[in-house]
Amino acid sequence: MISLDAILFYLFGAVTVASSLAVVTQRNPMHSVLFLIGSFLALAGLYINLDSPFTAVTQIIVYAGAIMVLFLFVVMLLNAPREDVASPYGPAYVTLTTGPRRAFALLSVVLVAELVLAMRQFVSASQPSGPDAAAHVSSVRQIGIAIFTDYSLAFEATSVLILVAMVGAVVLAKKRL
Amino acid sequence: MEPTLTHYLALSAVLFSIGTAGVFLRRNLITVLLSIEIMLNAVNLTFVAAGRHFGTVDGQVIVFFVMTVAAAEAAVGLALIIALFRHKESLSPDVFTSLKW
Amino acid sequence: MGVSVQPLIDFVTSPITIAYVVLIFIVFFSLQISAAVLVLAERKVAAFAQQRLGPYRVGWWGVLQPLADILKLLFKEELRPKAADFWLFYLAPVISATTAFAAFVVIPFGPPTDLFGLLPEPINLQGMDVNVAVLIVFAITSMGVYGIVLAGWASNSKYSLLGGLRSSAQMLSYELSYGLALASAIVLGNSLSLREIVDGQSATMLGGLIPSGWFLWPSFFGFVIYMIAGVAETNRAPFDFPEAEQELVAGYHTEYSSMSFALFFLAEYINMVTVSALATNLFLGGWHWPFPLAWGWPFGVVNWLLKVAFLLFFYIWMRWTLPRYRYDQLMSFGWKWLLPAAVVNVILVAAGVVYFS
């Protein structure tokens, strides 16, 4: 019998990959954003499968609930047109004939080779993750303690970063300073 | 088959490649930003999976920070796109070539 | 693989599982009934506030009016503007209604009970007891923004687009204060699980007469901020500019009719119920007062329902009493007044918790 963990992994994994492929291949940016939201929801399911409910919920609140709404606003504000099929660079998006595409083809071969090598090396050294190792890890209390003690500098720096980003976004998008 | 760490890493690698493909192949600035978000999420998945594998909470903490940074970057990136659109009325990266050699 | 399927069958047919499934159905249907009751209650309260009688023809005291409304909505013609994006147009009300119902899965409405001995062990009167329950409700309500954004965009009409954009911008702005007000209750309850937060409010004084354990007392401004932000989140009462009839026809649901409109309507009322239910659980002690739990678990449920009903009455009362905020006044209030107030409230409550323990 196949375990619930495996069923959920393959199900959510398939949805994530399919949605991400749809993001990259859809012509209407509005549909791309919606597929990305679907991908994020499936990723949240994967996080729950990995005993990380806090990360899953934060993913939905921050990514799917806020960042993607920002994307939607910009798409609606700019009335982002469907990508022109008759662009000067050829009929479809996957012609490997010009500069960026050649670079992509080469880099993708290198990336895949690297990933395969890295995973082969890791497979020999890995052990299956024990359920008891993750039993007391996932509590929000532990995460809170870690953020505010070990990672407090990163926390403060991130808050300054957000402030700077807010001010920067407002300034950049203003019509007249 | 139990999904071990390797399964999650493979899934994350696939997502990262899809994101990279999007950045290179799409001719629309917003879709390029969306593909960058896919890449960031693939990295998040790696962190959480590895954190659980090693029994530590650091994976989730780092993901927390990555999400915050991604939010900041998306905000500034979109503001830049709005400013660029106001200038040239187009969202294709091929149009903004004034700094090209 | 010689794994027998008997344990699975035992799990599926065990009385606990059946009880939970029945419970989920009961919650689902109660939500729909509560939406219907709210339709009538709103019209009646509005009528009494305006010194008239409200619906009284359909059934005694207008009780069958919601049924009449539902039949009317079902039999209307389903229209779709030709230029509307087909998938998005029909996806938007589905998203609104689904997130509205889904938020209720982790909200408890009574003490753990074994149903007068029918069950071998007590079950929680809650769909699912998770230890990040508050965050889950917050996450699901923040997904509800999409219903409105997509409705505004997909209708392809200027009233809808403006209404949708303004409404979603308003919801996002007030979500910050909403989350911070939730945070003050979380700090007091020392947990993210709704059941534990409610159980932390069970202290009473004077032999059960005064509910001294409520988080309302230490965090009174937290409650006020929560209710204001909740009202703004659900696009109601003084914050309903984006869907006001005099300003924007009907905002984001202008182009919808029949069942799609019914879904938006339903979603709005159920969001109201969710905000009120969460407020009772977080600030008003849930199921702990006035009737003592020693009298039995149904009294706990009655306690909870009384408090939620009071908050819903307050919602409806506010709508027909207060004038509407203009959109820029609304946004300025949310960012410049409510958010700093919520931050200060969280800091003070956290300082109080550290100081007094």
Instruction: Tell me which amino acid residue C62 is.
Output: G
Cβ–Cβ below 8 Å for A34 and C5: no
- What span, in angstroms and rounded, lies between the C-alpha atoms of C211 and C290? 8
Task: Please state the rounded mean pLDDT for residues A150-174.
Answer: 93
Query: Looking at chain A, which subunits does it touch, using at least 3 CB pairs closer than 8 Å as the criterion?
Result: B, C
Higher pLDDT, C174 or C159: C174
User: Contact C192/C131 with Cβ under 8 angstroms?
Assistant: yes
Q: What per-residue confidence (pLDDT) applies to A80?
A: 67
Percentage of chain A surpassing pLDDT 70? 76
B5 and chain A in contact, CB less than 8 A: yes
Buried b / exposed e along C44-60 (16+ C-beta atoms within 10 A): bbebeeeeeebbeeeee
Within 10 A of C142 (CB to CB), how many other CB atoms are there? 23
pLDDT per residue as tens digits for the range B17-48: 899 888 888 888 999 999 999 999 999 999 99
Contacts of A61 in chain C (CB under 8 A): 135, 138-139, 142
The candidate with the shortest Cα–Cα distance to B63, out of A93, A109, A53, is: A53
Q: What per-residue confidence (pLDDT) applies to C348?
A: 95
Return the number of CB contacts < 8 Å for A and B: 237
Higher pLDDT, A124 or A40: A40
Residue A104 has pLDDT above 60, yes or no: yes
Cβ–Cβ below 8 Å for A140 and C161: no
Domains of chain B (ranges; CATH) run 5-88 (1.10.287.3510)
Cβ–Cβ below 8 Å for C153 and A76: yes
Cβ–Cβ below 8 Å for A24 and B33: no
Least confident window among A3-7, C43-47, C216-220: A3-7
Least CB–CB distance from C143: residue in A1, A30, A64: A64
Closest residue in A to C8 (Cα) is A1
Cβ–Cβ below 8 Å for B7 and A20: no
pLDDT per residue as tens digits for the range C23-54: 889 999 999 999 989 988 998 999 988 898 88
The residue behind tokens 């791309």 is A32
* Pick among A17, A166, A172 to test the B interface (most B CBs inside 10 A): A172
The residue behind tokens 């954004």 is C149
Q: Determine the Cα angle at A95 with ends A90 and A98, to 5°.
A: 75
User: Contact A35/A22 with Cβ under 8 angstroms?
Assistant: yes
Task: Please state the rounded mean pLDDT for residues C330-348.
Answer: 94
Phi, psi of C250 (to 5 degrees): -135, 20
- What span, in angstroms and rounded, lies between the C-alpha atoms of A109 and A50? 30
Query: Looking at chain B, which subunits does it touch, using at least 3 CB pairs closer than 8 Å as the criterion?
Result: A
Print the SS3 string covering chain B.
Answer: CCCCHHHHHHHHHHHHHHHHHHHHHCCCHHHHHHHHHHHHHHHHHHHHHHHHHCCCCHHHHHHHHHHHHHHHHHHHHHHHHHHHHHHHCCCCCCCCCCCCC
pTM of the model: 0.88
The residue behind tokens 């012609």 is A95
Consecutive H or E run containing C115:
none
Bond from prior residue into C290 cis (ω within 30 degrees of 0): yes
Task: Please state the rounded mean pLDDT for residues A115-138.
Answer: 57
- What span, in angstroms and rounded, lies between the C-alpha atoms of C208 and C85? 58
pLDDT per residue as tens digits for the range A55-90: 999 999 999 999 999 999 999 888 766 655 444 544
Contacts of B69 in chain A (CB under 8 A): 158, 161
Consecutive H or E run containing A85:
none
Residue A149 has pLDDT above 80, yes or no: yes
Highest average pLDDT, of A6-10, B61-65, C203-207, comes from B61-65
The residue behind tokens 């749809």 is A22
Task: Please state the rounded mean pLDDT for residues C250-275.
Answer: 83
Task: Please state the rounded mean pLDDT for residues A125-133.
Answer: 49
ipTM of this complex prediction, to 2 decimal places: 0.92
Q: What per-residue confidence (pLDDT) applies to A98?
A: 65
Higher pLDDT, A162 or C112: A162
State the pLDDT confidence band at C95, using cuts at 50, 70 and 90: very high
Q: What per-residue confidence (pLDDT) applies to B63?
A: 95
> Do the two chains A and B touch, given a threshold of 8 Å on CB pairs and at least 3 pairs?
yes
CA–CA min distance A120, chain C (Å): 29
Task: Please state the rounded mean pLDDT for residues C224-251.
Answer: 80
Q: In chain B, which among 23-62 make CB contacts under 8 A with chain A?
A: 24-28, 30-31, 33-35, 37-38, 41, 44-45, 48-49, 51-61
Contacts of A140 in chain B (CB under 8 A): none
Residue C303 has pLDDT above 70, yes or no: yes
- What span, in angstroms and rounded, lies between the C-alpha atoms of B8 and B14? 10
User: Contact A132/B40 with Cβ under 8 angstroms?
Assistant: no
Residue A96 has pLDDT above 50, yes or no: no
Q: What per-residue confidence (pLDDT) applies to C66?
A: 85
